[in-house]
Amino acid sequence: MEYDILAKVTGFLYSPGSLGKNLSKVARLIVDSFPFDQCAIYLWDEEHRLFRLKALQGVQKGSVETYREKEGIPGLVKKQRAVVEVHTPSQDDVSWEGVEDRGLFGFRSAVVYPLREGHRWHGMVYLKSSKRLNLPARKRRILEFLIFQVSCVLKYNKMFRNLRKAYEELKKMQAQVLIAERLLPLGEMAATLAHEIKNPLISIGGFAGRLARKLPHDSPYMPYVKNILNEVERLDEIMKGIVSISKREEPKFYREDINSIVNESLDFFNEVCRIHDIKMIKRGDREPIYAMVDRAQLRVAFDNLISNAIQSMEKGGILKINTYKKDRWVVVEISDSGGGIEPGVEKNIFNPFFTTKEDGTGLGLAITNTIVKKHGGRIDLKNEIGVGATFSVRLPHHKP
Amino acid sequence: MKKRILVVDDEEGLRFLYKEELEDEGYSVELAASGEEALQKLEKDSIDLVVLDIKMPGMDGVEVLRLVKQKWKDLPVILCTAYPHYKHEFGSWASDAYIVKSSDLTELKDTIKDILGKR
Ligand SMILES: Nc1ncnc2c1ncn2[C@@H]1O[C@H](COP(=O)(O)OP(=O)(O)OP(=O)(O)O)[C@@H](O)[C@H]1O
Ligand SMILES: [Mg+2]
């Protein structure tokens, strides 16, 4: 009979299936094999610092969902870090030696076992009996052994969860490394490949251009030629993009006023904004804000962000640019009122070749991100769906 | 007298394109497929300007530029490259102009006109 209990509990605890289910089976076994009317197993929630009911077997009365750290008999167990055995004069009593616990209502005796390992708490087992309890020493030892087994299982469970968390994190990190690795060889290959492709491309485009000039304007073949020219230009843009994210192009850093670069970029888009009915608002520090940057590359970065913003506001809107110093950063914020980026799209926008635009290369943000990273900075996105997107570029500030 | 331009590029299609385009502009155009061939042509013919590709198998454009400038100090050379990042490396230290190749040859034509006009 006793051997039976031990064999069973081991079977329950180490069987596959959810922890909650296995603990329920153990609780059932305790109620069936010992003179208790209720067995409640609680798990310790470290974050909220309370015990939470995980499994309950036997009668339902007087069951309590959670116990705060210092609440009731479990609170006492937590404090004393030892088993507490309670006997009350009648079933109506809900306090024992000054400790109140509504879980005692309807019972005469209770035993609460801590489930812990040194300072690390896993939970507790709350056993109640409606009659006064008198457990023979031998039975008590078996019960203790059983509880010890539960404790072990909880420990393994926690270890397993930690392991799984570490694994998930590792997997996430690996994904990031993969992206970086995908970009690297791309960059290596790009420079060579781009050179191989560029020359034939110039030939194609050059001769198509000659045709366009030599053909009569109303020639029916004109659209064919125009098509070739457009596609060549697109390919050329893509190749330029690939070359510029390739590793070979190292930035040359000089101390520059970020405001002046931003303003140049805004000047460049002034006309486009006017045509598309976009209001441009420049805010922030007027005086120079310095950072060590490659002026030409940073201009490309701002151009890409501003052109994305403008493209998101086809029917007009507001383009807000804010530049300021914050701690050791120079921050440039570019916001649009173009409705933001769809949830499914957002995670991809920095990937090379990802685009939702008919004629996009999908390299704009990939390039921008690479440039900003090379400068020791980073890009943050505040995406307000239905409202607009704000891209903030942070660059290390350079003291004058 | 027509001005003579020597175009040096390892890509046949490009040599052909440059020839057609520059002849339309009223120049006479000589072609060379390599640095070695270019140097031979320069020895034989009188050339007014060289359009030189940087990236070529064998002797590359920078090497050719060095040899040309050693021997014909005043001969103008326009360096061409597929992508702008060479610019930092070679700058304009020895060539008379530096151009990023494009299927639109306007920039090249303007530069040639500019340089030859000054002489
Ligand atoms: N301000 C923005 N508002 C809404 N969507 C944006 C914004 N900026 C970027 N996106 C989304 O991110 C995608 C990727 O942008 P990215 O600049 O990399 O490429 P692209 O703009 O599509 O192509 P290209 O830059 O060559 O024109 C865009 O296609 C668009 O879906
Ligand atoms: Mg873009």
Here the ipTM equals 0.83
Residues whose beta carbons lie less than 5 angstroms from ion ligand 2 = A 308, 364
DSSP state of B94: S
Q: Name the residue with the closest Cα to ligand 1, atom 27.
A: A360
Sort out which chain B residues have CB atoms less than 8 A from A210's CB and list them: 17, 20-21
Ligand 1 site, residue A338, Cβ cutoff 6 A: yes
Close Cβ partners of A127 (under 8 Å, ≥ 6 residues apart): A30, A34, A36, A38, A39, A40, A110, A111, A112, A113
Residue B5 CB burial class (10 angstroms; 0-12, 13-18, ≥19): buried
Q: How far apart are CA B106 and CA B2, in angstroms?
A: 20
What b/e string do you get for B54-81 counting C-beta neighbours within 10 Å, with b at 16 or more? Answer: bbbeebbbbebbeebeeeeeebbbbbbb
Mean pLDDT of chain B: 87
Q: How far apart are CA A45 and CA A25, in angstroms?
A: 22
The model's pLDDT over B16-68, given as tens digits with 9 standing for 90+, comes to 999 999 999 999 999 999 999 999 999 999 999 999 998 888 888 888 888 88
Q: Strands, DSSP E only, in chain B? A: 4-8, 28-32, 49-53, 77-81, 97-100
Residue A93 CB burial class (10 angstroms; 0-12, 13-18, ≥19): middle
- Residue pointed to by tokens 């926008």: A349
The model's pLDDT over A282-336, given as tens digits with 9 standing for 90+, comes to 998 788 999 999 888 898 899 999 999 999 999 999 999 999 999 899 999 999 9
Percent of chain B with pLDDT over 70: 89
pLDDT at residue A214 is higher than 80: yes
From its phi and psi, is residue B112 left (phi > 0), alpha (psi between -120 and 50) or beta? alpha
The three-state secondary structure class of B107 is helix
Can you tell me the mean pLDDT for A35-51? Answer: 94
Provide the number of CB pairs (under 8 Å) joining chain A to chain B: 57
CA of A30 to the centre of ligand 2 (A): 65
pLDDT band at B87, cuts 50/70/90? very low
pLDDT at residue A13 is higher than 90: no
Q: How far apart are CA A192 and CA A38, in angstroms?
A: 75
All domains in chain B, ordered by first residue: 4-117 (3.40.50.2300)
Ligand 1 site, residue A361, Cβ cutoff 6 A: yes
pLDDT at residue A183 is higher than 50: yes
The answer to whether the beta carbons of residues A41 and A23 sit under 8 Å apart is yes
pLDDT band at B88, cuts 50/70/90? very low
Per-residue model confidence (pLDDT) at position A250: 65
Closest-approaching ligand to the CA atom of A386: 1
Percent of chain A with pLDDT over 70: 94
The model's pLDDT over A79-121, given as tens digits with 9 standing for 90+, comes to 999 999 999 999 999 999 999 999 999 999 999 999 998 888 9
Per-residue model confidence (pLDDT) at position B31: 96
Q: Inter-chain contact A243–B88, Cβ cutoff 8 Å? A: no
CA of A287 to the centre of ligand 2 (A): 29
Site to substitute for ligand 1 among A335, A349, A358, most atoms within 8 A of C-beta: A349
CA of A357 to the centre of ligand 1 (A): 7
Inter-CA distances, B108 with B3, B25, B89, Å: 15, 11, 20
Sort out which chain A residues have CB atoms less than 8 A from B104's CB and list them: 205-206, 209
pLDDT at residue B93 is higher than 80: no
Residue numbers of B between 45 and 84 with CB closer than 8 Å to A: 55, 82-83
CA of A268 to the centre of ligand 2 (A): 16
Per-residue model confidence (pLDDT) at position B89: 46
Q: Taking Cα atoms as reference points, which of B62, B80, B90, B114 lies closest to residue A206? A: B80
